[in-house]
Homo-oligomer: A and B are copies of this chain.
Amino acid sequence: MEYFFLTSMVHYSKNESLILLYAEMIVDIFKEGMTQNNSARNEAWKPQGKMQTIQSKSELRKAIKSVKSKGKTIGFVPTMGFLHQGHLSLIRRARAENDIVVVSVFVNPAQFGPNDDLDTYPRDAQRDSDLMAAETVDFAFFPTADALYPKGYITYVEVQGPMTQVLCGRSRPTHFRGVTTIVAKLFNLVSPDRAYFGQKDAQQATVIRKMVRDLDFDLQVVVCPTVREADGIAMSSRNTYLTPGQRTDAPVLRRALNDATKMIVKGERNPVVIRQNIEKQIDGVEGAVIDYVSVVNGHSMEEVKTLNGEVLIAVAVKFGATRLLDNIRVEV
């Protein structure tokens, strides 16, 4: 059975024993490893011509105009580069659903705070380029910071209120303003029909969805399932920061979240109990420092008093200087 089908069944089903069944099948898929799963999909893709690498905004606009004038649809995957299987899953979904695929690679300074890892964020343009070409991306956009934030830049797009102030917004107060600003700019440059984001950054996806709806962007936000390593940790460019010891400890996030799912399936509806159970497991790992463990409404990101409707359970944990995220969405 298809992974996407399974995750949506887990997501949308109201029948708890079915949720558990599907969830277990997903776990089985993880055990088989993502690689096999991916190569099976690979066979269905046809190359769409040579990838064009674009650096300037004017060149991108010209390319987009030409494509649009032919009535072709555009799928867009904005990334910060150092691509991994998570990004590739977004690109493949975009490839399957659109005539033209545009991927941007830009480490966006506006979403990094003064104490964040902007300078050390991993970069490898050549490797990214090769990976995109292999996925038959049509346009790879590598803008410069000077082009996107020229001298005197002063305009920001902001989703206000708890949605951007809780979870990651608490420790990174200007982060989401940076995200919505760059994404709005890229939407204006690329004019996509669909834009693809990963469920790993659940709050980001929710905030972008809200921005798109509020500002009347005429496009569909597609949120794709988190892709994981064989031991369950969510793929992230920041995983490369981890020491071997930290890397061994990191799967505790996933284990704690899986246990939370089981508790919910068994009937637990008290967010405090669920949160404390997650915290206990993570605190049990030496060197893991909790930034947050939150049980929130899946749309508003506000803390819930009892589990009801669509709920997001999200965790951020620091291993040394490296901050890792993970989350699950449940429909209760």
Measured CB to CB, the residues of A under 8 A from B are 57, 61, 68-69, 71, 148, 153-161, 163, 180-181, 184-185, 188-189, 191, 210-211, 214-218
Contacts and interface: CB of A to CB of B under 8 A. Distances in A.
Contacts of A157: 155-158, 184, 215
A163 B159 contact: no
A163 B158 CA distance: 18
13 contacts: A57-B216, A154-B163, A155-B158, A155-B210, A155-B215, A156-B158, A157-B157, A157-B215, A181-B215, A184-B215, A185-B215, A188-B217, A189-B216
Number of copies: 2
Contacts of A68: 68
A215 B61 CA distance: 14
B71 A153 contact: no
Contacts of A215: 155, 157, 181, 184-185, 188
Contact of A218 (B61, B216, B218): B61
Contacts of A217: 188
A216 to B, nearest CB: 4
A254 to B, nearest CB: 32
Contacts of A181: 215
A185 B68 CA distance: 21
A185 B214 CA distance: 8
Contacts of A188: 215-218
Contacts of A153: 214
Nearest to A211: B155
